[in-house]
Structure 1
Amino acid sequence: MIEQKVRSILRQQDGILETEKCGVVIANFRKDDDLLVVPVFNAEKQAIGLIDRQAALSTASNPLHFSVYQNRSAKMLVQEVFPIFDVETSIDMASQKMLEMGLSLSTGGFLITENGLYTGIGINTDMLNYLVEANHARAEALTELHTEMMDSVNYAGRIQSSLLPNRMALQEGLRSVGVLWEPRDVVGGDVYWRTEEDFEGTFTLALIDCTGHGVPGSLMSMLVVSVLNRIYSEKPEIGPGEALSKLGNLVRTALNQDREDCQSNDGFDAGLCKINTHKKTVSFSGARTNCFIVPKDGTPVVRLLGEKQALGYPGQVPYTPLEEYEMSLENCQTFFMASDGVLDQPGGENSRAFGPRRLLQHLESYRHLGAEALMMQTKTVVDQWRGQESRRDDVSALAFSV
């Protein structure tokens, strides 16, 4: 809606000279119910003020006051405070000025000038009606804009979801798999991934947490997944530690973060697990991502610590291969990775982070469950922990049994 000027609510109205008697003015108000304000001029025909209907009739309602005022100059009835606006003043600005002056928008009026000369009056209720209609139009425009924006975000969400591996592809070669993927804002920076093709009995699973959430996070995640696909298509036998270092270096190059004038300060955390079905082993490497292993023999859950560095971000020193752990599948029942959206989620009585210690206890308590059932229980436990707290980040986790 185009912002209107006070010209649009201008009313042409003749005024009176300041020498006119108050009794005449009051009589005119009593005869004409539509007469709300009367402009007052001096001998040089310059507007010097307004007489408000309500104030004038209030004075006349007291017989003693009326007998005193009726033969005096109309100047006696002029408001002490009255606004004057040029025809090109916006109604929004005029209304704000009147409120700052302590004036009501439900009664009275104001003078309107053009090039310093009187041209008409404005009625406050006309201004108020415009503001109501304008706010309604703005609300409708904002609603329409919000709908269009959410339609775009929801469409982006469908695109991002379609890029994630489907359940059948994800579970191929695994006994059970469980996924928790809940972007905070329809789309997000967390993704899970699997190599598109197995190589000599090996395949790799990944959980990635990119900086940010919403649309910026989703764009970052698409870049990371694209680079990861490229790495494994060029060298399918690569181990997780080397793959993570290459991923960090290539993402850094793609975002020009290896230049001194870079403007991007984005990066990601990631955990990669390479499953070798021939050797019956799983190799893990993580960048600020841990891998929890539930043993088959009932011994305590093991926490493999990923390296403390994140990947990406500005820098000129190339990443070197990250540390790898290799475990035999003989005594490993379930592998579990989670993003910081799970671990950092505040909740409980004191609004503390869920944290790795509670996750460890949770995995101990439900170690008898398969990966899929374990993940469903994890979602329930984390949601209960969050309670009424707002969700701060994207939430994702990946569990699998071989």
Structure 2
Amino acid sequence: MTTELFIHENPSHEISKAYQVLEKKNKDLIDGLYYASSVQQGMMPQERHFKKNGNSYFVFYNPLQIIGGDFFWLGKKDNWSYYAVGDCTGHGVSGAMLSTLAIGFLNYIVYSKKYSDLGEILNEIDKKWIETFKRHEDDDNLNNDWMEISLIAFNCQTRDFQFAGANSNILISSNDHAPINLCGDSFPIGGWQIEKNRQFTTQYCKLKDAAKVYLFSDGFQDQFGGSQNKKIGSRNFKNHLNSISHLPMAQQFSEVEDHFRIWKGVNEQTDDICLLGVEFI
């Protein structure tokens, strides 16, 4: 009788112990992710850095998981202000690790090298990205870790503007002109390197009038929702940005946040999201 009772009670006890172990491991994992999130976001620009660049802005940053592969970056060198938004392979830990790699490359190349064109900066990042994942000199294995990125630069003295993109595009909105969509090159940083002699191009123009420039990953436009439960889509996303571009940047942030929340509704978030708006007066 005692033996039979022990057999019936023991499995429940073991399950309880296993549950407690799993619960602790899960808590440790979540705590670690939140700490990693504070480290990752600490590597990205803070308000004081934006103030040094002197341009009004807003950032809508919303990773799918606690940490993610999207990031934003800025720099200041001579009379040039630099801004970037990147989207690295994957979500969560893997994407976050790649994003920190990208931020490190941007800081090193922009501040330590003397490149005058943004396309040259992306070429150098692409080279270093490939070298990072090439284990041996004769390693011919193709690595599919990649990054999409938009990189812009504005000279406050000459009003010269540059853009280079790796499988990305940006939107320029002005009160006096129709919105302009600039498309970067059709390949990412890293990846399978299908193209031979890959070279990133730089696009140039002068911002004669005040303009607002939007850099973004594809997470916002790929979100499912609305009355028909479909993606927002690139056209609707950019039309919304242009429709609110006349507003102060802080108000634009509120509009963007509300628009995303209403569109998503009860749906799960689809992807990491990063949207950066910058005003050049």
State TM-score, norm by structure 2: 0.91
The counterpart of 2:61, out of the listed 181, 184, 192, is 181
Q: Does 1:272 align with 2:162?
A: no
* Partner residue in 2 for 1:161: 41
**Structure 1 contact 248–319 (Cα < 8 Å) conserved:** no
Structure 1 residues 88-99: aligned runs within 5 Å: none
Q: Which residue of 99, 104, 109 corresponds with 1:226?
A: 104
Cα deviation, 1:97-147, whole Å, max 9, x if unaligned, reads: xxxxxxxxxxxxxxxxxxxxxxxxx52x53332122111111111110011
Q: In the alignment, does 2:6 pair up with 1:126? A: yes
Q: Offset at 1:332?
A: 4.1
Aligned mates of 1:250, 1:167 — CA distance in 2: 29
Q: Report how far residue 173 of structure 1 moved.
A: 3.4
1:344 alignment partner in structure 2:
222
Task: Find the counterpart in structure 2 of residue 293 from structure 1.
Answer: 172
C-alpha displacement of 1:336: 0.4
Q: Which moved more, 1:241-250 or 1:213-222?
A: 241-250
Q: What SS class does the counterpart of residue 253 from structure 2 fall into? A: helix
Structure 2 equivalent of residue 64 of structure 1: none
What's the offset of the Cα at 1:246?
A: 1.5
Quote the Cα distance in structure 2 between the aligned partners of 1:282 and 1:171: 19
- After TM superposition, the score normalised by the length of structure 1 is 0.65
Deviations 1:192-241 (A, max 9, x none): 1112x422x11211101100111111111111111122211232443222
Measured after TM superposition, the shift of residue 181 of structure 1 is 1.2
Determine which structure has greater relative contact order: mean sequence separation of CA pairs < 8 Å that are 6+ residues apart, divided by chain length: 2
Distance (whole Å) between structure 2 residues aligned to residue 296 and residue 326 of structure 1: 20
Structure 1 CA distance, aligned partners of 2:112 and 2:55? 28
Residue in structure 1 matched with residue 245 of structure 2 by the alignment: 367
Q: What is the rounded CA distance, in whole Å, between the counterparts of 2:68 and 2:261 in structure 1?
A: 18
Cα RMSD between the aligned structures? 2.1
Secondary structure (helix, strand or coil) at the match of 2:86 reads strand
- Taking the aligned partners of 2:43 and 2:87, their CA distance within structure 1 comes to 15
Change (3 A) 1:262 1:170: farther
Provide closer, same or farther for how the CA distance between residues 318 and 229 of structure 1 changes in structure 2, counting only shifts above 3 A: farther
- Gaps (5+ residues) in structure 2? none
Query: C-alpha separation between the residues in 2 aligned to 1:179 and 1:259?
Result: 42
Q: Does 1:149 align with 2:41?
A: no
Runs (4+) of structure 1 exceeding 6 A deviation are none
Matched-pair contact (CA < 8 Å) for 2:115–2:121: no
> Which residue of the partner structure matches residue 135 of structure 1?
15
Residue of structure 2 in register with 1:357 after alignment = 235
AA paired with 1:279? T
Do 1:334 and 1:370's aligned partners in 2 also have CA atoms closer than 8 Å? no
Distance 1:240 1:383 in 2: 34
Supply the AA of the counterpart residue of 2:229: S
Letter in 2 for 1:255: F
Take 1:287 and 1:364, find their aligned partners in 2: how far apart are those partners?
23
Q: What letter is aligned with 1:335?
A: V
Q: 1:365 & 1:314 partners in 2: Cα distance?
A: 38
Identity over aligned pairs, percent: 23
| SS of residue in 1 equivalent to 2:11 | helix
Q: Distance in 1 between matches of 2:7 and 2:209?
A: 78
Question: What is the CA-CA distance between 1:177 and the residue it aligns to?
Answer: 0.8
Q: For residues 171 and 319 of structure 1, do their structure 2 counterparts lie closer, same or farther at Cα, with a shift above 3 Å needed?
A: farther
Displacement after TM superposition at 1:287 (Å): 1.3
CA separation in 1, counterparts of 2:205 and 2:13?
Answer: 69
Q: How does 1:104-115 map to 2 (within 5 A)?
A: none
Distance in 1 between the 2:238 and 2:71 partners?
22
Does residue 183 of structure 2 align to residue 305 of structure 1?
yes
Counterpart Cα distance in 2 of 1:171 and 1:262 = 44
Question: Could you tell me how far 1:263 is from its partner in structure 2?
Answer: 6.6
Q: CA deviation at 1:250?
A: 1.1
Aligned partner of 2:205 in structure 1 is 327
In the TM superposition, 1:197-208 aligns within 5 A as 197-199=76-78, 201-208=79-86
Q: Give 1:315 shift.
A: 3.3
Cα deviation, 1:220-273, whole Å, max 9, x if unaligned, reads 111111112221123244322221122112101111188644373201000001
CA deviation profile, 1:56-87 (whole Å, cap 9, x unmatched):
xxxxxxxxxxxxxxxxxxxxxxxxxxxxxxxx
Listed one character per residue, the Cα deviations across residues 132-166 of structure 1 (whole Å, up to 9, x for unaligned) are 21111111111100111111111111111111111
